[in-house]
Amino acid sequence: EVQLVESGGGLVKPGGSLRLSCAASGFTFSSYSMNWVRQAPGKGLEWVSSISSSSSYIYYADSVKGRFTISRDNAKNSLYLQMNSLRAEDTAVYYCAREGGEYSYYFDYWGQGTLVTVSS
């Protein structure tokens, strides 16, 4: 069974940093591109970042470019999101999501999310 479990969320002050993790199991992690998607309270879904299976290709939404860094450790079946210079508008539930295949774009499995709150 495919499982994605996020961790690392919490309360942080504006300008602070946080590192999210996503532990993957039940599939060959090293064969899939992975993504972070967020959802502000009461709002819609916003794609944040993606990373290819071998970390060769990395993309970011304009809203987080230069502040967030996505990475992965295939030996540990883990995905990460380093978030720096956090703003109030980064407050959201952050989901880890697997892409359906190496060259696909849709997300066939999602974690349950971890809440990040940026507030003084």
Partner 1 sequence: EIVLTQSPATLSLSPGERATLSCRASQSVSSYLAWYQQKPGQAPRLLIYDASNRATGIPARFSGSGSGTDFTLTISSLEPEDFAVYYCQQRSKRTFGQGTKVEIK
Binding positions for partner 1, rule: CB under 8 A = 35, 37, 44-47, 50, 59, 61, 95, 100, 104-108, 110-113
44 burial level (CB within 10 Å; 0-12, 13-18, 19+): exposed
Shortest distance in whole angstroms from residue 43 CB to partner 1: 9
Pick the closer one to partner 1 by CB: 50 or 118: 50
Which pair of tokens denotes residue 98? 């697997």
Phi, then psi, of 88 in degrees rounded to 5:
-60, -35
Shortest distance in whole angstroms from residue 47 CB to partner 1: 4
Is the CB of residue 10 less than 8 Å from the CB of residue 18? yes
Pick the closer one to partner 1 by CB: 17 or 108: 108
Is the CB of residue 41 less than 8 Å from the CB of residue 91? yes
Pick the closer one to partner 1 by CB: 56 or 106: 106
Shortest distance in whole angstroms from residue 71 CB to partner 1: 18
